[in-house]
Amino acid sequence: MKKRIFINALYGTMAAVAAMGATSCGSDDKNEPSGGDNGKDPVETTDKSLVNAERAIEIIDAAVENYFEGAGMSMARLYNPYNNKRSDELGSVWMYTSSIEAVNSVLKAMKEQKAAGKSALYDAHFTRYTQLLSDLVDNLEFYAGTYTLTSYTGTTTWTVYGVNRGSGKGAADVTGVLNVYDDQMWIVRELLEAYEVTGEKRYLDKAEYLTAYVLDGWDCTLDENGRQHGGITWGPGYVTKHSCSNGPIVAPLVKLADIYKGKSDDITYGVILEGKKRGKETKAKADYYLEMAAAVYDYQMTHLYDPKTGLFSDMMGGDDNGGKVRYETVRGVEYRAYVHLRDRVGTIFSYNTGTMISGAAALYKATSDAKYLTEMKSLCDKSFPYFAKPATGKDGCYTFDITGFNNWFNNVLERSYVDAAAAYPEAGVYAEAFQANLDYAYSNYLYNHMLPTNLLVGWNMERSKNNVEGMFTFSFAAEYASLAEYQLTK
Q: How confident is the model at residue 490, as a pLDDT?
A: 86
The per-residue pLDDT for 224 is 96
CA distance 389 to 270: 47
Closest CA to 245 of 237, 377, 307: 237
Cβ neighbours around 391 below 10 Å, total: 19
- Contact of 149 with 236, CB cutoff 8 Å: yes
- Phi first, then psi, for residue 26 (nearest 5°) are 90, 20
pTM of the model: 0.93
Alpha carbon distance 347, 309 (integer Å): 12
Question: Would you say residue 12 has pLDDT above 70?
Answer: no
Q: For position 24, what pLDDT does the model report? A: 28
Lowest pLDDT segment from 2-6, 199-203, 394-398? 2-6
Question: What confidence category does residue 408 fall into, taking pLDDT thresholds of 50, 70 and 90?
Answer: very high
Percent above pLDDT 90 for the chain: 90
Average model confidence (pLDDT) across the chain: 93
- Whether 28 has a pLDDT exceeding 50, the answer reads no
Q: Which CATH fold would you assign to the domain 2-489?
A: Glycosyltransferase (1.50.10)
| Helix and strand totals (H; E) in the chain | 14, 18
pLDDT digits (tens, 9 = 90+) for 307-346: 999 999 999 999 999 999 999 999 999 999 999 999 999 9
Predicted confidence (pLDDT) at residue 15 exceeds the cutoff of 80? no
- pLDDT tens string 246-258: 999 999 999 999 9
Contact 55, 478 (CB under 8 A): no
**3-class SS of residue 334:** strand
Classify 73 in phi/psi space as left (phi over 0), alpha (psi -120 to 50) or beta: left
Contact between 35 and 21 (Cβ < 8 Å): no
pLDDT, tens digit, for every residue of 374-391?
999 999 999 999 999 999
As a whole number of angstroms, the distance between CA 419 and CA 247 comes to 15
Q: How many angstroms separate the CA atoms of 488 and 231, rounded? A: 37
Q: 280 pairs with which residues across the strands?
A: 270
For 70-136, where are the E strands, in sequence order? 74-75, 78-80, 85-86
Angle at CA of residue 341, ends 335 and 343, nearest 5°: 165
CA-nearest of 94, 123, 6, 2 to 58 is 6
Residue 32 binned pLDDT confidence (cut-offs 50, 70, 90): low
SS3 of residue 196 by DSSP: helix
Name the residue ranges covered by the structural domains of the chain.
Answer: 2-489
* Per-residue pLDDT, 274: 94
Q: Coil, helix or strand for 341?
A: strand
Pairing of strands 327-330, 315-319: unpaired
Q: Which helix (H) or strand (E) holds 333?
A: strand 333-336
State pLDDT tens for residues 130-174. Answer: 999 999 999 999 999 999 999 999 999 999 999 999 999 999 999
Phi, psi dihedral angles at 162 (to 5 degrees)? -85, 165
Q: What is the pLDDT of residues 207-247, one digit of tens each?
A: 999 999 999 999 999 999 999 999 999 999 999 999 999 99
Judged against a pLDDT cut of 80, whether residue 35 lies above it is answered with: no
